[in-house]
Chain A
Amino acid sequence: MPELTFKNLSKSFGSHVVIDAFNATIEDGEFLVLLGPSGCGKSTLLRMIAGLSEITSGELLFDGDRANDWHPRQRGVAFVFQSYALYPHMTVRANIAFPLVMDAFKKWYHLPIVNAVARRRLMKSPDIAARTENIARQLELDSLLDRRPASLSGGQRQRVALARALVRNPSLYLLDEPLSNLDAKLRTQMRSEISALHHKVGKTFVYVTHDQVEAMTMATRIIVMNKGEVQQIDTPEGIYNNPANTFVARFVGAPPMNLVPVTRKGRRLATSNAQAWNHDGELPDGERLIFGVRPEKLQFLAWGQGRMPAQVAVVERLGAETVIGCRLVSDEHGGTTNLVENDLVFVRISGNPRTKINEQCSLDYHAEDVVWFDAHTQTRIPVRAAAPALV
């Protein structure tokens, strides 16, 4: 299994820089997720690993060997495309067996007529037939082997694409948003299946997605990207609890982390609307800060019981839990506080409380749950003994 190393890897299309000086290492057997919004360069990075896109500058190392100019077949990778890219004119059996047939193909087999005969004979060879049927059985495709992709459902097609990737037993699996075309229920099911598959085969998976739920549930490590730059490389817990900057804080989590710009004077924090309260924990240096707290870490209290007076603006009942969007107010008749990106502070509470819109309330928090960011650089300022972000 190869260890992948990226050294100042860059990709440009003309003057447009898609990926800028990417540095990272992907270790054996890990499930690495490239997470980021559309157009951030994550698929381009995956294609460069596969050898489908040229590398503009920098180095890509497979087990320490420079692989920039290697042909895709030299890299020994399997690629699952977003659209699955199955061969529509071939049966499921032929689709799955195709990589094995190609590995056994000789140059003169490409001659007309010889080609068709050779392919048919190779497909029926005991080794290829057994491996095809074995992988089809594992992915519950054995009853569909003689059907064509057009007659399969989205989930079945997705499984055929996975089977085609698995059958060659490659050392590295590259998956480009393979679940994005599935409905929500099937996506959840396939998420578990892919995770189980990773545990079973024990190979390295590099998985591209813009869906943070997929990233958080499947990854052993996540690389968060934005505009071609790495924002953070960490475990899912690290990304969630200690985001490296405000972009990661807002990109990961639903609802995202609440970010309130505050001005610090001693232990007192003041918002843009003159709302102020005393912070009881450690505070970073600096006057202009961004106060960050996850929705589930905020306490939703009655008016006057918490340090942050608020007014309910949105109530989203999700069944087992409720997400309440509040406006921070300086007093009962005061204006609202401006936050980063939107004006609502979200609180996630369990159960289904009888909260109404425009109800007066207050919010509070524990000091150890707060993440601090520099208002100017937007990067996290560590104030307690937490694992530093790897950026």
Chain B
Amino acid sequence: MTSTIALSIFRYVLIVALVAFAGFPIYWMASTALSANSELYSTGQVPWPQLQKLPELISAMAGVPIGRWLFNTFLIACGTTVLSLLLGSLAGYALSRFRFRGRGLVGFLLFMTQVVPEALILVPLYAMFITLGLLNNLMGLVLANVGFSLPVAAFILKSAMDSIPYEIEESAIIDNCPRFGILSMIVLPLIMPSVAAAAVIAFFAGWNEFLFASTFLMDRSLWPTSVGLASFIGQYETPLSAVMGAALLFSVPAIVFFLLIQRQIVAGLTAGAVKG
């Protein structure tokens, strides 16, 4: 009995320690945001947030279009997610269900996109975007991101589709359901956890995008938050509290998005791990 209680206490202590370890950067971000810049650079940081510094933080951030940047980030992330899922589900379905010449090659080429570093194709992509008029354009950035997240989404969805018995689709064919209807009404609802997992990967790829955005977007008003945050870093001074305040704002939507579909993701990532 005593050992059970001790084990239970130990378990809770461990969980609290792990949560504190994982959550500390967020706490420190908030704490730094609510500190005076002078303290950060001279006397050292007070380890707890000083709420009285909130007006200072707001005035420091008033000079930067953080709302605009967050909106741009949201557009890029959502565009990347929607396009990746739309095209990824079609590609995954084709790779899973159709036997065609070059099927293996298509799979290999999709895989190869994950091997090529982004920095390597930056210059060719830049030249291409000039030709296509996609430079300094959010749509161009979405397309560049989709190029990297689409293969991942396609593979995740293909693997999930492979596990659906073909008889269910044949049954739908007999029931007069067209091929696209089979994908949208039968297959995708059955692999929703994997769709959620692919959505998270695509969303965060778009949300955290920095390299392409800093290269392809020149207008300050088109920047996503990641590029905007980097612009705080000056040659002589970096307003650390403003950077952390913006970073905190930048993190919140992503955390909310993740919390909303985390149950689905866990199911998606473990799908097929245990024989049902």
Please name the residue on chain A nearest to B189 by beta carbon: A89
A77 at the interface (CB under 8 A from B): yes
Is the beta-carbon distance between B181 and A105 smaller than 8 angstroms?
yes
Contacts of B185 in A (CB 8 A): 115, 119
Known: A88-B190, A105-B181, A115-B185. A73 touches B176 (CB 8 A): yes
Subset of 12 A-B contacts with CB under 8 Å? A73-B176, A79-B170, A79-B174, A83-B167, A85-B168, A86-B168, A86-B171, A87-B172, A87-B186, A89-B190, A98-B172, A102-B181
Is the beta-carbon distance between A164 and B181 smaller than 8 angstroms?
no
Known: A73-B176, A88-B190, A99-B176. A81 touches B181 (CB 8 A): no
Q: Number of B residues contacting the other chain (C-beta, 8 Å)?
A: 19
Shortest CB-to-CB span from B264 to chain A, Å, is 14
Chain A, residues 147-170, CB within 8 Å of chain B (1/0): the string is: 000000000000000001000100
Is the beta-carbon distance between B167 and A102 smaller than 8 angstroms?
no
**10 more A-B residue pairs beyond the given contacts A79-B174, A81-B170, A98-B177, with a C-beta to C-beta distance below 8 A:** A73-B173, A77-B174, A79-B171, A81-B167, A85-B171, A87-B172, A88-B190, A99-B176, A105-B181, A119-B185
In residues 173-214 of chain B, which contact A (Cβ within 8 Å)? 173-178, 180-181, 184-186, 189-190
A183 at the interface (CB under 8 A from B): no
B234 at the interface (CB under 8 A from A): no
Contacts of B177 in A (CB 8 A): 98, 102
Chain A, residues 91-132, CB within 8 Å of chain B (1/0): the string is: 000000011001101000010100100010000000000000
Which positions in A face B, CB cutoff 8 Å?
A: 50, 52, 72-73, 77-79, 81-83, 85-89, 98-99, 102-103, 105, 110, 112, 115, 119, 164, 168
Please name the residue on chain B nearest to A109 by beta carbon: B181
Rounded to whole angstroms, the CA-CA distance of A242 and B180 in the bound complex is 51
B165 at the interface (CB under 8 A from A): yes
Is the beta-carbon distance between A102 and B171 smaller than 8 angstroms?
no
Rounded to whole angstroms, the CA-CA distance of A333 and B170 in the bound complex is 62
Contacts of B184 in A (CB 8 A): 110, 112, 115
Rounded to whole angstroms, the CA-CA distance of A89 and B168 in the bound complex is 11
Is the beta-carbon distance between A85 and B167 smaller than 8 angstroms?
yes
Contacts of A98 in B (CB 8 A): 172, 175, 177
Is the beta-carbon distance between B175 and A164 smaller than 8 angstroms?
yes
Rounded to whole angstroms, the CA-CA distance of A164 and B171 in the bound complex is 10
Please name the residue on chain A nearest to B170 by beta carbon: A52
Contacts of A105 in B (CB 8 A): 181
Known: A83-B165, A87-B186, A115-B184. A103 touches B176 (CB 8 A): yes
Shortest CB-to-CB span from B175 to chain A, Å, is 4
Please name the residue on chain B nearest to A78 by beta carbon: B174
Contacts of B176 in A (CB 8 A): 73, 99, 102-103
Is the beta-carbon distance between A50 and B174 smaller than 8 angstroms?
yes
